[in-house]
Structure 1
Amino acid sequence: MAKTKGSLALASYDDIFHISDTVTEANAERVVEMPLGKLYPPEFHPFQVRNDEAMKKTAESVKKYGVLVPGLARPRADGNYELVAGNRRKLASELAGKETMPVIVREMDDDEAVIFMVDTNLEQRESLLPSEKAWAYRMKLEALKHRGIVVDGIDIGTLSVTVVSKQSGESKSQIYRLIRLTELVPGLIDLVDAKKIALNPAVELSYLSRKEQSSLMDAMAKYEATPSLPQAQRLKKHSQSGELTLEMIDSILAEEKKESVKVTLTGSRLKQYFPQDYTPKQMEKVIVGLLESWHKRQAVS
């Protein structure tokens, strides 16, 4: 893949695990007090920098004590710097009214920058969104692939997954599944982050084309429903066979709405209509009989 200084362009999911022979060298570094206006986030940064309560506390600490741990930046061609690590510290510094922050300036190629950015964020963040993990793993595997070689005839992609698995504590299959989330359109992956779509059905939906996913989003809004795992599997199957139509998506999503209609009657509420010695089985028999009579009257009317 052609590489441009400062660019974190991504390979496709299928290309991540193929061999490349990019080689890099580490260079000297220095620590400087850098103006915040000269620091820019990476072109693609998978980790959200949230201005939440935790950030407010960090800003208060920075205002009182300053930034205790320097960020890491690499020079850009325009004379500014790409902040590889320390974007939360930068926002905290801005909120604290600071004009500069300490950073280590290091010459790094794209792959070194990606690996460092991913590793520092995975280590330091207690709770990451599924989308953050997904993009982080994808970017790291791609970077490792670029720097890799064949070892004893084994594809570097396979070796890279083993490395990331050991470092993250997640199984290789879980890493593959998370990376699949990067194939979702933004609206769907946002629903995964919001815990409105579970991981398993989300992975199945990632095999739909982007056009099909957009149509699915429209159907989800129409029926106020999200696909269950069996429904997602059916959508994937029809998509891969080339048979998935708008009508089929609508039909499958409409099922969820029907299945989600539930009426719960508690025992305490029902008992007021029955003799005290009636068992649940006897109450059920009476209720079913009344419903059957009502249904017959509805069919006639």
Structure 2
Amino acid sequence: MKKADEMCSLQGNNPGVDVIQVKLEDLHAFKNHPFKVKKDQELFELRQSIESEGILVPLLVRKSRDGVGYEIVSGHRRKEAALWGGLDCVPVIVKDLSDDQAVIAMVDSNLHREKILPSEKAYAYKMRLEAMKHQGREITLDQIGPKSEENGLRIYPLKVEQGAFGEMVIAPTEKKISTRSNEMLARMVGESVTQIKRYIRLTYLIPKLLEMVDREELSMGSAVDISFLKEDEQYELFAVMDLEQWVPTVSQANRIKRMSMQEKLDMDQIYKVFEETQNSRREMIKIPVERIQKFFPNSYTPEKQIQTIEKLLSEWSKKRSRSKDMSL
């Protein structure tokens, strides 16, 4: 397959880096890889790019621990697109990485993607945080950071000083600041520590509920509270949700969580929360603001609008009653 060989041949294009050709059948997915590879529009476009330009960025791999083939650290989507495009081999860079180094490299290479599902973030953050804690230091492929202090990372702040000739010199201070692993991860990914903890809580959800979060059918707030339920309680809750086509609100999910913590949660209690929702729906009619706002002056407050609607309905009801009386 000469065309395929030409596409994946990058020998000599990267000085100082050994790029070898590996058959697709010898490449294995990273263990517990949290990022889903789907045959969607993005993968189709990647396949087209590979067919016309070849694989421009080699996959990053390490030798499999069982000695058979290679484990992909970065490049699962490139492998799938190449397979889809009919290639037999792909260019790879082989690195000798520990489990923690491989996890960090795998996660970091995927977090830059534009679209990442909540479930992908949840497991990626969890895996990376655990790897950072194991090492107790910041790890990159090119540099090993300082040892940890109290299971965190040491940061040496910089200060600006004036040199002998009036120039400004940047020098490290002697003071050391200890930053815990979760704080460092938060800075690296642009999330708050609290938000990272919320994402990691999603890993405690049963698969069906986690899928609902990915489909945006279950809110993050409700999902986090539900994640504190025991596994069997989550299955019971999902059974009610699926049967009744019901999704708990944040306040309802919090109540269910508290009942679980008090050992008072069972199917009857779940149905009680559901029935309260049904009763409140029967008692309330919601009208979107944009549908009625155009009929009122800008000076009318929401309360004034409600009063006006009640008055008009009252007059309409009286008029309807008089019409019935006249017809008798």
Give the TM-score of the pair, scaled to structure 2.
0.71
- Measure how far apart 1:288 and its partner are: 7.5
How do 1:1-301 residues align onto structure 2 when only pairs under 5 Å count? 30-76=18-64, 77-123=66-112, 125-148=113-136, 151-152=148-149, 154-156=150-152, 159-260=180-281, 262=285, 264=287, 280-286=309-315
- Measure how far apart 1:256 and its partner are: 2.9
Taking the aligned partners of 1:81 and 1:259, their CA distance within structure 2 comes to: 58
Unmatched tracts of structure 2, length 5 or more:
1-15, 138-146, 154-178, 293-307, 322-328
SS in structure 1 at match of 2:22? strand
SS in structure 1 at match of 2:80? helix
- Measure how far apart 1:214 and its partner are: 0.3
Instruction: State the structure with more CA Rg.
Output: 2
- Measure how far apart 1:148 and its partner are: 1.3
Taking the aligned partners of 1:41 and 1:164, their CA distance within structure 2 comes to: 24
Corresponding letter in the other structure for 1:91: E
SS in structure 2 at match of 1:244? coil
Taking the aligned partners of 2:216 and 2:188, their CA distance within structure 1 comes to: 26
Corresponding letter in the other structure for 1:141: L
Taking the aligned partners of 2:35 and 2:264, their CA distance within structure 1 comes to: 37
Taking the aligned partners of 2:17 and 2:280, their CA distance within structure 1 comes to: 61
- Measure how far apart 1:30 and its partner are: 3.5
Corresponding letter in the other structure for 2:182: V
Taking the aligned partners of 1:242 and 1:133, their CA distance within structure 2 comes to: 31
- Cα RMSD over matched residues? 2.5
Taking the aligned partners of 2:310 and 2:91, their CA distance within structure 1 comes to: 73
- Measure how far apart 1:260 and its partner are: 4.4
When residues 29 and 263 of structure 1 are mapped into structure 2, their CA distance, relative to the original with a 3 A threshold, is: same
- Measure how far apart 1:156 and its partner are: 3.2
Corresponding letter in the other structure for 1:63: E
Listed one character per residue, the Cα deviations across residues 56-107 of structure 1 (whole Å, up to 9, x for unaligned) are 1110110111100001111112321111110000011011111111111112
When residues 102 and 220 of structure 1 are mapped into structure 2, their CA distance, relative to the original with a 3 A threshold, is: same
- Measure how far apart 1:50 and its partner are: 1.4
% of aligned pairs identical?
Answer: 36
Corresponding letter in the other structure for 1:176: K
- Measure how far apart 1:253 and its partner are: 2.2
Taking the aligned partners of 1:195 and 1:49, their CA distance within structure 2 comes to: 19
1:73–1:106 contact (8 Å) kept in structure 2: yes
Worse-superposed segment, 256-265 or 230-239:
256-265
When residues 37 and 179 of structure 1 are mapped into structure 2, their CA distance, relative to the original with a 3 A threshold, is: same
Listed one character per residue, the Cα deviations across residues 86-137 of structure 1 (whole Å, up to 9, x for unaligned) are 00000110111111111111121211111000001002x1111111111000
Unmatched tracts of structure 1, length 5 or more:
1-27, 268-278, 294-301
Taking the aligned partners of 2:115 and 2:27, their CA distance within structure 1 comes to: 26
When residues 151 and 93 of structure 1 are mapped into structure 2, their CA distance, relative to the original with a 3 A threshold, is: closer
1:30–1:106 contact (8 Å) kept in structure 2: no
When residues 287 and 174 of structure 1 are mapped into structure 2, their CA distance, relative to the original with a 3 A threshold, is: farther
When residues 256 and 29 of structure 1 are mapped into structure 2, their CA distance, relative to the original with a 3 A threshold, is: farther
